Amino acid sequence: MTVATLRRPATGGPCVPKLTSGRFNTWRVAMVLLTQLIFLGAPWLRWDGHQAIWLDLEGQRIFLFAWCFWPQDLVYLAGALIICALGLFWWTALAGRLWCGNSCPQTVYTEIMLWIEHWIEGDRPARLKLRADPYKPAHLARRVASQAVMIAVSLVIGFGLVAYFVPAPELLASVLDGSMGGWTLFWLLSYAGFTYLLAGRLREQVCLHMCPYARFQSVMFDSHTLLVGYDAKRGEPRGARRQQHTANPRGDCVDCGVCVQVCPTGIDIRNGLQYECIGCGACIDACDTVMDKLRAPRGLIRMTTPHAEASGQPARVSWLRPRPLIYLGLIAATALAMAVGLWQRAPLHVNVLRDRAVMVRETPEGLLENAYQIKVFNADSRPHVLQLSAEGLPGARVLTEPAQLLLPAHGQLQLLARVQAAPDNVQHGAQVLHLNVRSRDDASFQRQEDTVFIGE
């Protein structure tokens, strides 16, 4: 059998990898279970009366346990994304593509789809047989059954994602009683559809042709980065063991091709480091099993580093290297800046917009009046009754609609404020006006916003 036919079915389409067992497989299974436990379980966590992690688009706020973020706080979201990206760079510099092979959602969901396929359609030879004659009734029934289960799993994953936007118990109730809104259903089906398409159908094609990270992550590698490598010195020349006693003895690789059959991206790691290798370690498990059967030492394919390969020493993860240290330093600096920002973050945000339709109005009492649209956002878990006052304009009084300013916990309030002052106290043209918003029951809960008051 040629390497090309080992990789993909003769009928074309995605790889049909053989499932393995071993250290790396155990680790991968654990990561699939852990990531899905977190992904599907987190929306059910409650905190202080609300969903602990909730992206409430309708209310324009994000809950993250005790924190409530408003649109003005998007800088923290940007900071969190920067930390995640730097964390990924740091991990890549240390361990190559272990993230891709074990924790990337595409890999995790592809792995789940492969399990389903394996359970329903059988092992690799059986699955290849099904693909070779797909319209035979028994084959078709198995293929339809496996696709149906994959679609069902994709719907659960779609539900899991939407539950971060619509409270999970509410979402589940809407599924059970059929009252789900049109947009919610659209997003659930869209995410389920993408999961099925990318993980169930396209599989490794996403890693090979669509993922941008695969293309540039090698710039984060250095000579101490852990990579999956084949020991060519020990393995070559490859060939069957029965040829050992010829004039040209063989290396330890018996050219069984199992390392290619198990590879989810269909590459032959014996050809050297390739960008298609996602570092899943399946070929290591497969080759170790072959070596065990041959009573040869394990590690013909192993995690190694370019430095270890060149020096002949065992591979060792070295944390104290310039590149990972630079990434760690950047992570620490960003985290510190965010921590300071969060520490000093005011629980009250106020947006003031002067009513531009009317420059200045004269009231029946002869006072000059300017109007302002005010939006108040509460990041505090307690409700507050607010009062408004104005500074910078002698004798000014503030009237609001509504008159009673009740700001809900983690909520927002929109109001109209009218500032009135005697003409003698108002300068001609624009002058600075300080609007104070404060809680009646908590002096520390206050904010001052500057705007302008236009005189005649």
Q: In this structure, are residues 204 and 13 in contact, taking their beta carbons and an 8 Å threshold?
A: no
Site membership for ligand SF4, residue 257 (CB under 6 A): yes
Q: In this structure, are residues 111 and 81 in contact, taking their beta carbons and an 8 Å threshold?
A: no
Q: Could you give the string, one character per residue 288-307, with x where binding to ligand SF4 holds by CB under 6 A and - elsewhere?
A: --x---------xx------
Q: Residue count at the site for ligand SF4 (CB under 6 A)?
A: 30
Stretch that binds ligand SF4, among 259-267, 372-380, 389-397, 436-444 (CB under 6 A): 259-267
Site membership for ligand SF4, residue 253 (CB under 6 A): yes
Site membership for ligand SF4, residue 437 (CB under 6 A): no
- Give CA 258 to chain center in angstroms: 33
Q: How far is the CB of 146 from ligand SF4 (least distance, A)?
A: 22
Question: Which parts of 152-191 interact with ligand SF4 (CB under 6 A)?
Answer: none
Question: Which parts of 97-126 interact with ligand SF4 (CB under 6 A)?
Answer: 101
Q: How far is the CB of 225 from ligand SF4 (least distance, A)?
A: 14
Q: How far is the CB of 208 from ligand SF4 (least distance, A)?
A: 11
Site membership for ligand SF4, residue 6 (CB under 6 A): no
Q: How far is the CB of 34 from ligand SF4 (least distance, A)?
A: 20
Q: Give the chain's largest Cα–Cα span.
A: 114
Exactly one of 56, 236, 255, 309 binds ligand SF4 (CB under 6 A); that residue is 255
Residue with smaller CB distance to ligand SF4, 113 or 262: 262
Q: How far is the CB of 344 from ligand SF4 (least distance, A)?
A: 46
Report the C-alpha gap between 348 and 334 in whole angstroms: 24
Site membership for ligand SF4, residue 95 (CB under 6 A): no
Contacting residues for 49 by C-beta, under 8 A, at least 6 apart: none
Exactly one of 96, 158, 279, 347 binds ligand SF4 (CB under 6 A); that residue is 279
Number of helical (H) and strand (E) elements in the chain, helices listed first: 16, 16
Exposure string of 207-225, with b = 16+ CB inside 10 Å and e = fewer, is: bbeeeeebeebeebbbebb
Contacting residues for 334 by C-beta, under 8 A, at least 6 apart: 79, 82, 83, 86
Q: In this structure, are residues 276 and 265 in contact, taking their beta carbons and an 8 Å threshold?
A: yes
Supply 325's token pair: 């240290």
Exactly one of 16, 171, 226, 228 binds ligand SF4 (CB under 6 A); that residue is 228
Contacting residues for 6 by C-beta, under 8 A, at least 6 apart: 257, 260, 261
Report the C-alpha gap between 169 and 45 in whole angstroms: 11
Site membership for ligand SF4, residue 254 (CB under 6 A): yes
The position carrying tokens 């965010």 is 338
Site membership for ligand SF4, residue 281 (CB under 6 A): yes
Report the C-alpha gap between 383 and 406 in whole angstroms: 7
Query: What residue ranges bind ligand SF4 (CB under 6 A)?
Result: 101, 228, 235, 238, 253-259, 262-265, 267, 269-270, 277-283, 286-287, 290, 300-301
